[in-house]
Structure 1
Amino acid sequence: MESYTAIPLLSTIAMLLVVFPILLLLLYETLILAIANRRRNKANNNIHRASRGTLEAVVPIYSEPIELVVEKTRRNSAVLLTSPCFTRLTILSDDSSDYVRNLAEALGYDLPISIFHRPDRRGGRTGALDDYLKNVTATHFLILDVDAEPTLEIATKICTGLQNGGASVIPWEGYFTRGTRLAHAVKFFTDFGSDLLYRMRSQAGLFVFPLGSGTIYDKNVVLDVGGWGDNIIQDDIWMGVKLALNGYDTHLLGELSLRILVPSTLAAFKTQQKRWAYGTSDVLRRSALKLIKSHKLSFWRRLEMLAYMSLPLLTIPVSISFLLLPIAGALEQRITFGMFLEEILYMSSPFILIFPIYYYLYQRLMKKYSLKQTITNLGRFTAILTTLTPTLAWNSLKGLLGLPLSYEVTPKGKKETQEKKPKDPFYMLLWSTLSLFISVLNQNTIIGALSLAFFTASLWTLARAEKIVA
């Protein structure tokens, strides 16, 4: 006698919890590309009048390798000196007095580089930025991460980005020092994300959020909105919301690209993504009601900004599905291959309608990415991100609930390779193996297929992600 003959409710829910977030993401990206395509021959609403002024660069650091800080700071200061509006580069450090003294000696005194040192870490990174803001003498300042590499093209054009009454954003281009499969995949999606979520969103007339590295601020504007405030994890998204709510606009310097270092190990990537997932959800919690009530922004702009900040939350339903797999596999038996195909056909119908549109727009607007390059890196990145999904979901939920999280700096240079390898792939491998065994034993093809997907992602990440490739 069959123990299960009704509609496989739990198994269907498990599949929906994976499919629905992917569908939402695909629909969101398709809408961006469609609007950008429609407006591609129209003048960009974000075009601004360049203003005269001076610019200094600030590099917030904490516990970074001194040799990395010296190398990048001297390089970047020399490059920026070719810009006529550049005055100095300031290192903003909350490190110990000994660290700062050693750093100052290593930097030398032949370039316009200063160190702004705080002996205590009150307010974290954003508290440091607020303290630094009181000492800025230039009209504008550019925030850079220590690993950022401004190009000569940026230096020659940066003065045209001094926008009075707002902020100007330079999109990213990834680079890496160790050519692992993970590094190649993260670089690809850093470049892809800059194109889609910055250049295409800007072309579509959507609000351009600042970036934590590569944003030029009008000092008086930041003072007017009250600075950042203490202990804001995702300072760029937070400042973007504050600018928008106070009627200030942002402008994308879309013809430029700022080189930023991408992680090459799973430990470094996990640290970065945990911080971004928590920080963005934290800003959503702090600002959602304010955006909903705002009369300075159109309804559609507010809705899109909320959608943008909600992207990390898509990991939550996928993680619930992952945790549900052994339970559904045990309770729901004899789900045949025919029933599995029926579920797949039903759930894939929206993709059949949307994907051809997405692919057409992708090829039309983002020509620099070949199909082979896209598929290869999409597979790699999906496996890596899937493995970290439970961790990212938990941190997104913590940010949404306002639970505390200490700011973790993404390890760079030698520190990156010294980090312990995360256990995430191993834990996912064990759990998916358990659910796969149960699903095979109980002949549940839906849970078996989902378990196999998580199993494959974690196994690939464990075995291949950190291998060096040409």
Structure 2
Amino acid sequence: MDLVIVLMITLPQLWFYIVYAVFAWRAANCRQHTTSCSPGEASISFIIPVRREPLEYLEQAVEYIHGLGIRDYEIIIVSDDDEGFKQVLFDKLHEWRRRGLNVWIIWRSRPVGYRTGALNTALWLSRGDYIYVLDVDSRLDKCLLDCAMEILSSHEDTVAVVGRWEPLNLDARLSEALGYSMRFIVGAIYHGRNCMGLNVFPLGTGTLFKSRYLKEILNGWDQERIQDDMEIGSRIMYHGLKVRYLSDCAVYVENPSTYKALRIQQSRWAYGATDVLIARWRHILGSRQGVLGKIEAILFLSQYIVPSIVFLGTVMLAVNAFIKPFDVLMRHTHLIIALAISQWFFGRYYYREVKKHIDSSWGTLVNMGRSAAVTTALSPYYLYSTLKALLRIRVQYARTPKGMYQLSSSRIRIPWELILAVLYAVTGIIYLLNNATLSGLWLIANSSAYSYVVYRWRKDVFFN
């Protein structure tokens, strides 16, 4: 049993750190120079799915698109809001159209398919040569549209082009940590993967598609899946088509600034990725990708299984303290050493990326530690969502709260973060009192992560 615990804690992390370190190394040594791209003559349909989004966010998104100066565009807003909000939207629509903005609103009384259903509704009514899905809290560089249209028009086998994700907001502790972490992780797995010739998945916002391919070959998005980008990316791979990545053109996305919003977002992503893995693994294995590309795509969709297994191993280690508190981890020091080395290589590239944006070394380390603490605290939710996907339990699409919706609280919840912080602290001390130093320190470190989240975001821990 002790070997099982150690393997659960070390092997998934070894895979994660080694793979991401390789991608980060490749990205750091691969420069993509995009020549200036001229605006295309083709038309673009912007699709904005909304449900309980702050009205000011929607207004800003529409104004931003109009301000890009695109010659031929249309904005299709698909609303799944309550009927009471419908008139507010249509009043705003009349104002936009009086000003000459080419905006349309589709209000759905029944949100069939939720986000993917909304995307399909707009897709089949769109007239643009290209499709760009836009979240109300994201912005894009004009160069992404210009260069993506140039690439798509000159490469018949390319169905989509993805831009580089950048943080739009760095005004809170959490959003700052997530923003810098996102810069590193997305840069590594997208730019690094692209440089290695591996498959690139579309992003939910930040991808320009060929409309004709979406309609005639892919037949739109799969309304049974809640993770639309990973799902359609798997089918793009199956059809032998390509998705290209532009590292020089940015898409700015708003990161959650509250732990509650992040918990909802990450739970949905964990379920969605695992659900796509189960539904589309045959498409990936049956694609024209090489063996390495297929394996990597499967592992990419398995990314939330990694922290889930580590969490289970850590809980088993904690329970073991009440049964036989010997140093489980010390018995397999070769695996611990290998994990430490892989963490060092990963952390080296991570530190370099974050340090580009933060003046002090201490501030960089604090930012990295904050991100690691939050990721650890989310582990039980990764496990819960992953298990629901594996057991094929259907869930409704839960949108990430934005604006004022991030701050609203409804009812008391079980504070799992506090419970785990106490469990790990107690069992860690038990190990230390029995001279099981390594196992004790591992649990104390995990307890510190949960304790930090409880301290910083108390309201989000105790209330939904």
Select between 434-443 and 198-207 the one with higher mean Cα deviation: 434-443
Distance 1:77 1:290, change over 3 A: closer
Contact 1:313–1:396 under 8 Å retained in 2:
yes
- Residues 67-216 of structure 1 aligned to structure 2 (within 5 Å): 67-70=56-59, 72-80=60-68, 82-84=69-71, 86-107=72-93, 108-109=95-96, 110=99, 111-154=101-144, 157=147, 159-160=149-150, 162-163=152-153, 165-176=158-169, 179-216=171-208
Partner of 2:23: 32
CA distance in 1, matches of 2:291, 2:38: 27
CA distance in 2, matches of 1:466, 1:122: 36
Distance 1:75 1:373, change over 3 A: farther
Letter in 1 for 2:356: K
CA distance in 2, matches of 1:124, 1:356: 42
The alpha carbon displacement at 1:317 in A equals 1.5
Aligned: 1:384 with 2:370: no
Residue 149 of structure 1: SS of its match in structure 2?
strand
Aligned: 1:278 with 2:262: no
The alpha carbon displacement at 1:182 in A equals 1.3
Distance 1:227 1:373, change over 3 A: farther
Contact 1:329–1:442 under 8 Å retained in 2:
no
CA distance in 2, matches of 1:359, 1:67: 39
Residue 90 of structure 1: SS of its match in structure 2?
strand
Q: Deviations over 1:238-282 (max 9, x none)?
A: 011111101111111221111111001100000010011110011
The alpha carbon displacement at 1:128 in A equals 1.9
CA distance in 1, matches of 2:429, 2:346: 37
CA distance in 2, matches of 1:354, 1:441: 29
Determine what percentage of the aligned residue pairs are the same residue.
24
Select between 161-170 and 398-407 the one with higher mean Cα deviation: 161-170
Contact 2:284–2:294 under 8 Å retained in 1:
yes
The alpha carbon displacement at 1:439 in A equals 3.2
Query: Normalization by structure 2: what TM-score?
Result: 0.86
The alpha carbon displacement at 1:415 in A equals 0.8
Distance 1:222 1:63, change over 3 A: same
Q: 2:252 aligns with which of 252, 259, 264?
A: 259
Q: 2:9 aligns with which of 14, 18, 36?
A: 18
Query: Normalization by structure 1: what TM-score?
Result: 0.85
User: How many equivalent residue pairs?
Assistant: 445
Could you tell me which runs of 5 or more consecutive residues in structure 2 were left unpaired when the two chains were aligned.
Answer: 460-464
Aligned: 1:239 with 2:255: no
Distance 1:151 1:41, change over 3 A: closer
Distance 1:92 1:415, change over 3 A: same
CA distance in 2, matches of 1:174, 1:55: 24
Q: Deviations over 1:334-367 (max 9, x none)?
A: 54xxx86x44742333246546655676689998
Select between 450-459 and 90-99 the one with higher mean Cα deviation: 90-99
Aligned: 1:303 with 2:295: yes
Partner of 1:289: 282
Distance 1:459 1:443, change over 3 A: same
Distance 1:135 1:278, change over 3 A: same
CA distance in 1, matches of 2:302, 2:269: 12
Letter in 2 for 1:426: L
Q: 2:52 aligns with which of 63, 66, 71?
A: 63
Letter in 1 for 2:76: T
CA distance in 2, matches of 1:74, 1:145: 11
RMSD over equivalenced CA pairs, Å: 3.0
Q: 1:452 aligns with which of 430, 435, 444?
A: 444
Could you tell me which runs of 5 or more consecutive residues in structure 1 were left unpaired when the two chains were aligned.
Answer: 1-8
The alpha carbon displacement at 1:30 in A equals 2.4
Letter in 2 for 1:65: P
Residue 125 of structure 2: SS of its match in structure 1?
coil
CA distance in 1, matches of 2:353, 2:174: 26
Select between 248-257 and 145-154 the one with higher mean Cα deviation: 145-154
Distance 1:153 1:221, change over 3 A: closer
Q: Deviations over 1:109-138 (max 9, x none)?
A: 222221122221112211222222111111
Greater relative contact order structure (CA < 8 Å, 6+ sep): 1
Select between 312-321 and 15-24 the one with higher mean Cα deviation: 15-24
CA distance in 2, matches of 1:181, 1:364: 20
Contact 2:25–2:192 under 8 Å retained in 1:
no
Select between 424-433 and 197-206 the one with higher mean Cα deviation: 424-433
Distance 1:157 1:466, change over 3 A: farther
Contact 1:181–1:465 under 8 Å retained in 2:
no
